[in-house]
Amino acid sequence: NWKMNKTLDEALKLVEELKPLVKDAKCDVVICPPYICLNEIVGKVRGTNIKVGAQNMYYEESGAYTGEV
């Protein structure tokens, strides 16, 4: 759960770094990026074993805030 701590560019970079690390994982791999990153992230993990969860936004610019989507 990334809460609201990644920009889109940071989130995309993290996913690219994560993909080879978890490709042979024997457990579920689920990431929960900020809501504004969902569309791009879903596209980047398509065809991998990484699943995507969702959360909404909060009025603060960044921080440890989790929504309820």
Domain that holds residue 19: 1-69
DSSP code, position 67: -
DSSP assignment of 4-66: B---HHHHHHHHHHHHHHHTT-SS-EEE---GGGHHHHHHHHTTSSEEE------SSSSBS--
The count of structural domains within the chain is 1
Q: Is the pTM of this model over 0.85?
A: no
The CB density around residue 44, as the number of other CB atoms within 10 Å, is 19
Q: What is the pLDDT of residues 23-39, one digit of tens each?
A: 999 999 999 888 888 99
Confidence of residue 17 (pLDDT cuts 50, 70, 90): very high
Q: Output the pLDDT for position 67.
A: 59
Mean pLDDT of the chain: 87
